[in-house]
């Protein structure tokens, strides 16, 4: 296990967290699932019986990205159960859907991550008793990592990601982050740039390496492709594009682009998929305020030829909806969010478009750019112009889609390296 860091920084952090308790509880109060007690947030969980591993994914997007790793862990350790924790209710729902869809209910479990109070984290680990802890991407909770260190739980951070913006924030509290990173036994960063940022915050070089992004190890089941093609057929012979994982301030721009597009293609259909389910009703109301009737997927509706927008207000179906479109715009990139997973539509062979704000996916965007598999636009007008041009150019759409699939295929391999690193970590204990 790693040596201790700077506990005084963690003590100050814990004091600040205690003073902010009302705000913390207000934030997490809504993130709940029916029949799931809120005492889980205090570490009061019921642990599955037998030896187990623990994987933490912050929210819905991370659970989706971690699916190949989840399935690999269950394959590699058939005598273990796997507990996946999330902070959000949507992440919890996705884990529960995975248990049902993949038939993993017997060995895959979900619990909510405890709030980062010292007592809550100690109780959580004392009850769960994992043989290995795995953090997906960047959830570096100082007291949780310190509790792992104290209780001798080997800890890995996989697909480690640290954007320039996040790095700038963490650098202001470097003593606290240095203490937290002392609890990490192995860090597998998704790029050399991310690795350098982690090391600048205090991650030991001998316990960290760049292995590539797990997001490239995405796989698409034949049944999913068939379902996407069937849905595309139901939309009829019309231009269809999708805007996935959209945010406030972005939906308005996308609807503006769609209105401009329909001047050239009056029958064009936009599948609009907000990032957060809390916004489904608000986005439907936004469309209604612009005089649109908006069929909603959650209600089993399909768009008629007269409908301009179809609201994808369901969870866990984004890849399916990407595959049912002719062009895909990935959201969080026309507003300062940092973008979302560009590889989901690419893996489906759908041409990928985005805005310019891709700080969270710089490495992925650069690989797609180099392969000529990503089209970036600056604003709504540029998006409309690009969409109109691509809908008239079948050959270019085909080229973009095939280029994206080649990028995904050529960059797979991070999952194998991650599995090997986790096996070494567990065997060394």
CB distance 29 to 40 below 8 Å = no
Q: 160 — phi, psi (to 5°)?
A: -55, 125
DSSP character at residue 218: -
Give dist(CA 1, CA 414) in Å, integer.
24
Q: In what order do the strands lie in the sheet with 352-354?
A: 309-311, 269-274, 240-246, 327-330, 352-354, 374-376
Query: Measured between alpha carbons, how far apart are the two ends of the chain, in Å?
Result: 9
CB distance 105 to 99 below 8 Å = yes
Query: Residue with structure tokens 């009829």?
Result: 236
DSSP sequence for 358-416? -GGGHHHHHHHHHTT-EEE-SSHHHHHHHHHHHHT-HHHHHHHHHHHHHHHHHT--HHH
| Residues in contact with 410: Cβ distance below 8 Å, sequence separation at least 6, in sequence order | none
DSSP character at residue 113: P
**62 is a catalytic site residue:** yes
Q: 311 — phi, psi (to 5°)?
A: -90, 115
Q: H or E stretch including 210?
A: strand 208-210
**Active-site hit among 31, 40, 46, 62:** 62
Strand 186-189 to 155-160 pairing:
parallel
CB distance 108 to 82 below 8 Å = yes
**Residue 103 CA: distances (Å) to CA of 20, 66, 226, 411:** 41, 17, 20, 29
Instruction: Estimate to the nearest angstrom the gap between the alpha carbon of 331 and the chain centroid.
Output: 13
3-state secondary structure of 96: helix
Q: In what order do the strands lie in the sheet with 208-210?
A: 108-112, 81-86, 52-56, 133-136, 155-160, 186-189, 208-210
Q: What angle do CA 66, 284, 101 make, to 5 degrees?
A: 30
Token digits for 184?
A: 């990490």
Token digits for 120?
A: 């809550």
Which residues are known catalytic residues?
62
């Amino acid at each position: 296990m790693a040596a201790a860091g700077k506990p005084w920084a963690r003590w100050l952090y814990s004091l600040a967290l205690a003073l902010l308790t009302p705000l913390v509880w207000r934030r997490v109060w809504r993130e709940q699932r029916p029949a799931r007690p809120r005492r889980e947030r205090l570490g009061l969980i019921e642990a599955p019986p037998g030896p187990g591993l623990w994987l933490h994914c912050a929210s819905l997007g991370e659970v989706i990205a971690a699916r190949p790793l989840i399935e690999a862990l269950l394959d590699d350790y058939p005598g273990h159960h796997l507990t996946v924790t999330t902070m959000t209710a949507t992440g919890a729902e996705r884990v529960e859907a995975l248990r049902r869809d993949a038939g993993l209910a017997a060995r895959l479990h979900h619990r909510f991550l405890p709030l980062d109070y010292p007592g809550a984290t100690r109780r959580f680990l004392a009850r769960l008793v994992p043989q290995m802890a795995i953090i997906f991407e960047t959830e570096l909770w100082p007291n949780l990592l310190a509790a792992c260190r104290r209780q001798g739980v080997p800890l890995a951070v996989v697909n480690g990601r640290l954007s320039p913006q996040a790095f700038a924030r963490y650098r202001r509290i470097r003593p606290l982050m240095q203490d937290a990173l002392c609890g990490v036994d192995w860090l597998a960063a998704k790029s050399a740039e991310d690795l350098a940022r982690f090391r600048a915050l205090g991650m030991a070089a001998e316990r960290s390496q760049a292995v590539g992004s797990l997001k490239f190890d995405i796989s698409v089941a034949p049944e999913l492709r068939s379902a996407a093609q069937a849905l595309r057929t139901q939309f009829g012979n019309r231009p269809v594009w999708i805007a996935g994982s959209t945010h406030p301030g972005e939906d308005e721009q996308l609807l503006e682009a769609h209105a401009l597009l329909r001047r050239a293609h009056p029958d064009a259909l936009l599948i609009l998929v907000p990032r957060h389910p809390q916004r489904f009703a608000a986005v439907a109301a936004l469309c209604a305020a612009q005089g649109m009737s908006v069929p909603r997927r959650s209600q089993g509706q399909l768009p008629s030829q007269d409908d301009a927008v179809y609201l994808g207000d369901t969870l866990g179906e984004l890849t399916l909806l990407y595959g049912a479109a002719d062009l895909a715009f990935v959201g969080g990139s026309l507003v300062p969010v940092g973008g979302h997973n560009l590889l989901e539509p690419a893996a489906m062979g759908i041409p990928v478009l985005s805005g310019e704000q891709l700080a969270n996916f710089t490495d992925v965007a650069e690989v797609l750019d180099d392969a000529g598999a990503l089209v970036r636009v600056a604003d709504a007008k540029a998006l409309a112009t690009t969409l109109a041009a691509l809908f008239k150019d079948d050959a270019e759409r085909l080229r973009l889609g095939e280029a994206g699939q080649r990028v995904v295929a050529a960059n797979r391999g991070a999952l194998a390296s991650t599995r090997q690193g986790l096996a070494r970590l567990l065997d060394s204990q």
